[in-house]
Amino acid sequence: MKWQRDSGLSGRIFLTWVLLLLVYLIFMGVLMALGLPSMFIILIAVGMGLIQYFFSEKLVMMTTGARVVEEDEYPDLHRMIEKLCIEADLPKPKIAIMQSPMPNAFATGRSPHHALVAVTDSIMVTLNKAELEAVLAHELSHIKNRDILTMTVAGFVAMIASMIMNNFLFASLFNREQGGAWIIAGIVAAVVWVFSTMLMMALSRYREFAADRGAAFITEDPDALISALKKISGRMERVPVETRAAAEGVNAFYIIPAISGQSFAALFSTHPALEKRIENLENVRKEIRGY
């Protein structure tokens, strides 16, 4: 069986865009009705959104310390990704390496033609060839599914709400004429932030299932990804907490979160539980092999 676009993910991405647009419009309408400087807020948010869109790759690289590597530096890694790109019908992305004791990987970029796949140096010595191929196929599936752009847009709406939440108390104290309006805006912003974050995390969890499924079809070896996920998860627990905590800000990008089980609720988790991902891959194995 060949890799096919996940209809469930496509439907969720479309629904996420619609709901986020609706929430955004309602939110801006509330700000305007309250007489707040909504255009100023919009301009700042749009500016930050454009920076995220065009420079998300560089921003994530700066945050993680990833460095783009050429073929002469890591020929085996380049050949592995080239082979998988042929299987996945994708242009070859940029390839980067992170120096980290955490065995992990991520993909970023706004489109298949502007994408990057990064791995840590430790993952390359933790996994065998088949397992590493499965992890790379998982990251390429994110690119093929185009789910990275949707996560960026979802984060944009949450960012606007967060900006207002973080500033409404200051504004209400120092602007007596509109103090009440800023308090109402802060409450509305809190509701919008919770909703958009929950929506973003729900999509984040499902996109991991879809990328696992895509990797299994690209490599035709779901067992390799199951083994890789178990190895990464087990090794992650032995990485110092301080190191993992420092990487928590990019949790949603990693194949296994740097910090797991620390969320206020499962609704705010970036990844599904490992057991559920393994169960999903076992179901894919039945589709591919019939057992």
- Distance (Å, whole) CA 186 – CA 172: 9
DSSP run (H or E) holding 115: strand 114-120
Helical spans, DSSP H, in 34-96 = 38-64, 75-88
The yes-or-no answer on residue 57 being catalytic is no
Cα dihedral sign for 269, 273, 277, 283? negative
| Dihedral in degrees, nearest 10, Cα atoms 83, 84, 86, 91 | -110
**Token duo for residue 203:** 């999509």
- Distance (Å, whole) CA 127 – CA 169: 49
Of the candidates 137, 154, 120, 156, the one whose C-alpha atom is nearest the C-alpha of residue 45 is 156
- Distance (Å, whole) CA 220 – CA 233: 22
Active-site position among 131, 139, 242, 275: 139
**Token duo for residue 251:** 């949790």
Q: Which residues are marked as active site?
A: 139
